[in-house]
Chains A and B, each alone.
Chain A
Amino acid sequence: MLSLPRPLVAVLLIVLFVGMLLVPFFGGSYAIKFATRVFVLAIFVVSLDFLIGITGLVSFGHAMFFGLGAYSLYFISPETMAANALFAFPAALLIAGAVAAIIGAICVLTRGFYFIMVTLAFGQMLFSLFHTSRIAGGSDGAYINIKPAISMFGRTLLDFENRFTFYYFCLAALAAVYLLALALTRTPFGRVLQAIRWNEERAGALGFNTYAYKLLSFTFAGAIAGFAGVLFATIDGYVAPDLFGWRQSGIAIMMVVLGGAGTLFGPILGALLYSLIEEVLKTASWVGPIASHWSLALGLLLIGAVLTFPKGIAGLFGRKEGLKVSADQPHITRKVEDARRGQQLEVSGLTRRFDGLVAVDNVSLNLAPNLVHGIIGPNGAGKTTFVNVLSGSMKPTAGNIRLDGENIAGKPAYVIARRGIGRSYQRTNIFLPFTVRENCLIAALARHPSPWRLRSGIFVKQESDAIAHALNVTGLSTRADIRAAHLSHGEQRQLEIAMLIASGARLLILDEPLGGMGPEETGRVMALLRSLAANHTVLLIEHDMDAIFGAADTLTVLVEGRLLAHGKPEEIRRDLAVREAYLGRWGESAS
């Protein structure tokens, strides 16, 4: 997760900021205008990095909101007098944000490369709208006669015709936007965005409505881009359709990547460096004949930068990856969970077909609360499909699933998670770049999964208790500050269980939790699952027959998608049909 910049970086940023405060005293009007432009572009690319680096949405149409902000100023500005920036700037921000919410509602439906393309398409649509029509001068662009000013009660407080005033205004705006974006990444909202970036499926299974989160992020970034756009239009007093275009979006991505995506400060440096390089190549005398072919040199520099500095400028200031081992924390004995009971699950006539194949065939089952229920069966018996349907990652073809009486069949995964079902996956499914504690934090935030949470607020104690409890019972307390990617396979499986505990789920579905564990770990995890049954209902798929026969209260046998037997372990062991179909040699040797 994005932490605050290291002291070295923070000092560097402050020095840069102070240096910029001094520029107008030494630089000429050209330097001031150049720097103002860089600040505005930096605001734009910080908003883009919030999308790309924090939320993981690579937008290739971000300039459409930049352009909208700029054109808003044109439409708002009266012919013969200055627009009031107190009204015009927020209006531009709101217009861009509102359009971002509408366009985002469609774009966010898609993922990966398709998202890149849909955002590009919408950007080009707006571009062609302003380019081919005669709105605001069409392809020629249009002038804003008088630059806006901040005025109150008929008195002008800040006049942006004055380039000093506007310079400092933009510098302050950049600092404010950067700090705002940085602060947002540290709120529950921002943390969940980062979780979505690394593992959207897991975030959804924890109960977060990832669509709403991504849409909010898209809207926020769009609004900030609109703000940058209105500032940009103020610099030259000129708007043109190119502001919407894919080149503008592309250059913004360049700046983000050049600076280092996902750091928020990196893109500011990227904007500065990119603009400086472009400026030097275009105008400096010592580059000689290159000046007339500056974009050739710029292209070569970009290619060179990608090949040599894949992490951007910010990568040069990167933290050394260390394996921290935190001191063993004192065992917390206070009771975390209230006396909640596990949930009851009733499945009736559940069926899931894939084209011709019936993976789950008319399964009816009643799982009593506060017990450990095992599901066994040969490979391909439909066990994982069965739990996928229960947890909502697949829709049932037919049948009902009642959780404490409420039918949840066919609801999206995040809704089912909010009803109390938490699940782990056959293949470990955690947030690998986050530390163990951060993984549990995301899970704990799922207790109150609204995307509108900007403060930890009153839940912070409940959540930190839940995290401590989860780490404690899974034995991960000493490993809390290690990145999940650096854990052993067995520890990662335990982290998944810890996340389920921290999330407050009351019905736990575990898909082969013992996979890849040694006998000692197996014993410990099974004992943990037994103790969890005190206030959870536990449902697990397992291939380790000794473990599951020893620990489960009931066993369900699935074969070819059908329910073959259900009962207490000793009944199942006696069941001849089961023995033939599945247990085979194991059944004989045990009898």
Chain B
Amino acid sequence: MAGTPVPAIIVSEQSAVMDLVLTQIFNGLQYGLLLFLAASGLTLVLGIMGIINLSHGSFYMLGAYLSLTLTSLTNDIFLSLALGIPIAFLFGAAIEWLFIRHLYQRDHLQQVLLTFGLILVFNELQRIIWGTFPHSVPIPSYLSGSVKIFGLMSYPIYRIAVAGLCIVLALAMMFVIQRTKIGRMIRAGESNREMVEVLGIDTQLLFRFVFAAGVTLAAAGGIIAAPIDSVYPGIGESVLITSLVVVVIGGIGSVRGAFVGALLIGLADAFGKVFFPQFATGMVYALMAAVLVARPGGLFGRAA
């Protein structure tokens, strides 16, 4: 599972438990925010376009490897982000044009099949271009080190910066959805997919934009998370599965649901790793099963 490896903190003896809990809350929120970037695109593509996109994790992987290459060129993670976003957007639009648009009239099974094929292709391309060894991406020097929070625990600055960046990107997305014309179409599609078609909206353009935006968000997550985790083959797959879990918990098509679901999963994962290390991954799925039994349409979804 990507996200929260062993917390890099110094534990003082007196407040060890307090420290641990606080640190895990921070780790969980930061991981949850990253997950939200990946899951929001997935939920919109599923809710508005009706496409199950198994290759979504590959775009997170794309981001991670873009981060590796661009940072080695520019020496700065934020320049990499600025360069990576347009690259990912164009890449996403191209994938939609080449493959995804043929799937709108097909059933779920064929969507699963084609996007599974895409995973195989992307994974192999990754191996050809970047090889199979794990790499690490340097944290920029001005963000290295830790700060003390609440006078208790010290927390890595870069992780705080990542959380902040995620919030900025999430706010940018909310701005697009709430304040722009294309956002109005997205909201229309969110509440009723058929309506979008009835209203005569250019669905082709809308779908391409939504897909490319989803790819961009996932890739942006991969770019900024790269200095925290190492970059390795198959990095996208755990992100894909966890994002799908987030989408299901939140309710398909609901951005708000994805946000709540991502934070829930982030916290469950962070605490699970510390308190139930044997079953940390399982806890995420147990949480999802519990939500679905109680609310078969997810927390914010329409009834399935």
Residues in B neighbouring A116, C-beta threshold 8 A: 52, 108, 112
Closest CB in chain A relative to B247 CB, distance in Å: 8
Residues in B neighbouring A131, C-beta threshold 8 A: 281
A-B contact count (CB 8 A): 134
Residues in B neighbouring A246, C-beta threshold 8 A: 241
Q: Are the CB atoms of A129 and B279 closer together than 8 Å?
A: yes
Q: B281-297, CB under 8 A of A: which get 1 and which 0?
A: 11001101100110011
Q: B240-263, CB under 8 A of A: which get 1 and which 0?
A: 010011011000100000000000
Q: B138-159, CB under 8 A of A: which get 1 and which 0?
A: 0000000000000000000000
Known: A117-B288, A253-B112, A299-B119. 20 other contacts (CB 8 A): A109-B293, A112-B304, A113-B46, A113-B252, A116-B52, A117-B292, A118-B292, A120-B241, A121-B285, A124-B282, A124-B285, A125-B282, A250-B116, A253-B109, A253-B116, A257-B109, A257-B113, A296-B124, A298-B120, A300-B117
Residues in A neighbouring B278, C-beta threshold 8 A: 132-133
Known: A121-B289, A307-B102. A132 touches B279 (CB 8 A): yes
Residues in A neighbouring B128, C-beta threshold 8 A: 293, 296
Q: Does B17 contact A (CB under 8 A)?
A: no
Q: Does B121 contact A (CB under 8 A)?
A: yes
Known: A125-B286, A303-B114, A310-B106. A106 touches B293 (CB 8 A): yes
Residues in A neighbouring B182, C-beta threshold 8 A: none
Q: Are the CB atoms of A113 and B52 closer together than 8 Å?
A: yes
Contact size class for B? 35 or more
Chain B residues packing against A (C-beta within 8 Å): 46, 52, 54, 99, 102, 106, 108-110, 112-114, 116-121, 123-125, 127-128, 241, 244-245, 247-248, 252, 277-282, 285-286, 288-289, 292-293, 296-298, 304
Choose among A58, A117, A128, A310 the residue that contacts B281 (Cβ–Cβ < 8 A): A128
Q: Measured between alpha carbons, how far is A301 from B113 in the docked complex, in Å?
A: 11
Chain A residues packing against B (C-beta within 8 Å): 52, 58, 60, 106, 109-114, 116-118, 120-122, 124-125, 128-129, 131-133, 246, 250, 253-254, 256-258, 261, 293, 295-296, 298-303, 305-307, 310
20 A-B pairs in the complex with CB atoms less than 8 angstroms apart: A58-B112, A112-B304, A113-B52, A124-B241, A124-B281, A124-B282, A125-B281, A128-B281, A129-B279, A129-B282, A132-B279, A132-B280, A257-B109, A295-B124, A296-B120, A300-B117, A300-B121, A302-B114, A302-B120, A305-B113
Where chain A touches its partner, the secondary structure class is helix
Among residues of A, the one whose C-beta sits closest to the C-beta of B248 is: A117
Closest CB in chain A relative to B28 CB, distance in Å: 18
Q: Measured between alpha carbons, how far is A261 from B110 in the docked complex, in Å?
A: 10
Closest CB in chain A relative to B50 CB, distance in Å: 9
Closest CB in chain B relative to A354 CB, distance in Å: 13
Residues in B neighbouring A310, C-beta threshold 8 A: 106, 110
Closest CB in chain B relative to A273 CB, distance in Å: 13
Q: Are the CB atoms of B117 and A299 closer together than 8 Å?
A: yes
Choose among B117, B120, B296 the residue that contacts A114 (Cβ–Cβ < 8 A): B296
Closest CB in chain A relative to B292 CB, distance in Å: 6
Residues in B neighbouring A302, C-beta threshold 8 A: 113-114, 116-117, 120
Closest CB in chain A relative to B286 CB, distance in Å: 7
Q: Are the CB atoms of A109 and B292 closer together than 8 Å?
A: yes
Closest CB in chain A relative to B1 CB, distance in Å: 9
Among residues of A, the one whose C-beta sits closest to the C-beta of B127 is: A293
Choose among B46, B112, B245, B277 the residue that contacts A121 (Cβ–Cβ < 8 A): B245
Closest CB in chain A relative to B283 CB, distance in Å: 9
Q: Measured between alpha carbons, how far is A250 from B237 in the docked complex, in Å?
A: 13
Q: Measured between alpha carbons, how far is A307 from B118 in the docked complex, in Å?
A: 13
Q: Are the CB atoms of A52 and B109 closer together than 8 Å?
A: yes
Closest CB in chain A relative to B152 CB, distance in Å: 31
Q: Are the CB atoms of A128 and B282 closer together than 8 Å?
A: yes
Residues in B neighbouring A121, C-beta threshold 8 A: 245, 248, 285, 288-289
Q: Measured between alpha carbons, how far is A298 from B279 in the docked complex, in Å?
A: 34
Q: Are the CB atoms of A299 and B120 closer together than 8 Å?
A: yes
Q: Measured between alpha carbons, how far is A254 from B120 in the docked complex, in Å?
A: 12
Residues in A neighbouring B127, C-beta threshold 8 A: 293
Q: Are the CB atoms of A58 and B117 closer together than 8 Å?
A: no
**In the A-B complex, the 7 residue pairs with the closest CB atoms:** A299-B120, A302-B117, A296-B124, A299-B121, A128-B281, A121-B285, A303-B117
